[in-house]
Amino acid sequence: MFVMRGARSASTVRRNPGRAAGALIAIAALVPAASCTSGSTDSGGANAQAKGPVIRIAAGVDPSYAPLYLAVQRGMFAKAGLNVQLVQTEGGPTASQAVIAGTAQIAANADSTALSLMANNANLRALGVFQSSDRYLKVVLRKGIDGPKQVKTMGSIQGIGLYATHAYLKHNGIDPGSIKIVKGSPPDMPGLLGRGSIDGYILFEPWAANGVKEGGHIAGRIGDFGVGYVQWLLAGQKWLSGHNEVAGKVFKVVAQADRIVTSDPKAAGEATQQQVKLPADTAAQGLPDINFAARGFTGADYASAGKLLDFLLAQKLIKTRPDLETVMIRGWYERYVG
C-alpha cells in the first residue's frame, strides 16, 4: 500500500491563546493537501473487477478505520459496483484536505477536525456518522507522572486532541493556559513522551500503545472527563451534487462493514493488518472500544457540533462559524443510505 503523507510539523505554545491560534493555523497550512496525491490502493486486487469512475476515499491509518479496510479487503465495494480506492493519510485534517484539493471524493474525519476545516471551506459536507466512541482515545502519561497535577507539558494533535486536552485539564482543575502544549502529528507523540519532552498526551491506537512502549502508562479515557467523538464521512459539495446516489452506495457498504467489524473483530484486525500493516491483535483489541454503527445526524449531533464550534471560536482557531444545517446535511443518510 502506498501511504500518502502530509508535511509533519510541530510548534509550542504557552499561556497565549492568540499565539496558540496562529500556531495551529500555521500547522494546518503546512500540511499540503496536494501531497495526498502520490498514490492510492485497493490491496490484493480486491477491486480489480470494479468498473466505472474511480472513487477515492481518504482516511487515516489506525484501527478505527477498520470498516474501510475490511470493505476493500473483501471486495465489498466492487461487489456493489463501485470502483473504490483508499487514500491513506497521516491523519488529522489531511483526509478532508484531500477532498478540498480534489484528490479524493470522500473522506473519513472526526467531527472536530472536519468542523475546523468547514469554517474556511464552504465546499465540505458531512453525510453521516459511521462510528463513535468515548473510550478509544486514551490519556498517556510518562513514567514518573502519576496524575494530572504533576503535568507541566502536554502533547496534542489538532482537532479532537486539543479539545480533549483542554477538557482533561479543566476536569482536573487545571487552567489549560498554565500548561505548555506541544503541537504535532500522532507519530510524534510517543517519541516526545519517551524523551521526556512532554508529560502526556491523548491519542488513539496505535499511538497510545506506542507511548506505553516508550515507558508511559494509560491514565484514563476521554469518556472519564465527558468527551466523545464521532467519525463522519464527508464529500465535496461540487462532486456530491452530481453523485448523491453513488455516495449513498459507498456509505451503504461502509454500514455493512460496520456490522461485520462489530460481530467479527478478529477479521477486522486481520484486514487492518493487511491494509495498513498494523499488528492484527493490536487492532482487534482496540475495536471493542468503538461503536461501529452508521446513522444519520440527530439533534444531539448538532448540539455537540455547536459546542465544538464554541471551543474553536474561543481558541481563535476559526474566524467564522459555519452553518451546521448546511454543512451537516440533515436527512441525507436516511434518503440515500436508508
Listed in sequence order, the residues at least 6 apart from 78 whose beta carbon sits closer than 8 Å to its beta carbon are 46, 47, 48, 49, 50, 84
Percent of the chain scored above 70 by pLDDT?
85
What is the SS3 assignment for 137? coil
Distance CA 159, CA 115 (A): 9
Report how far apart, in Å, the C-alpha atoms of 201 and of each of 113, 188, 233 are: 17, 11, 26
Cell of 113: 477536525
pLDDT in tens, 141-192: 999 999 999 999 999 998 889 999 999 999 999 999 999 999 998 899 999 9
For the chain, state the CA radius of gyration: 19
Residue type, 249: K
Is the separation of the CB atoms in 92 and 157 below 8 Å?
Answer: yes
pLDDT in tens, 18-73: 333 333 333 232 232 223 333 344 443 455 566 789 999 999 888 899 999 999 99
The C-alpha angle 134, 27, 2, rounded to 5 degrees, equals: 75
What is the SS3 assignment for 246? helix
The answer to whether the pTM exceeds 0.85 is no
pLDDT in tens, 81-118: 999 999 998 777 899 999 999 999 999 999 999 999 99
Distance CA 186, CA 129 (A): 23
Query: By 3-state DSSP, what share of the chain in percent is helix, strand and coil, each rounded to 5?
Result: 45, 20, 35
DSSP H or E run through 111: helix 111-118
Which DSSP string corresponds to 207-256?
A: HHHHHHHTT-EEEEEGGGGT--EEEEEEEEHHHHTTTHHHHHHHHHHHHH
Longest CA pairwise span in the chain (Å): 57
Name the pairing type of β-strands 54-59 and 83-88: parallel
Neighbours of 136 (CB within 10 A): 26
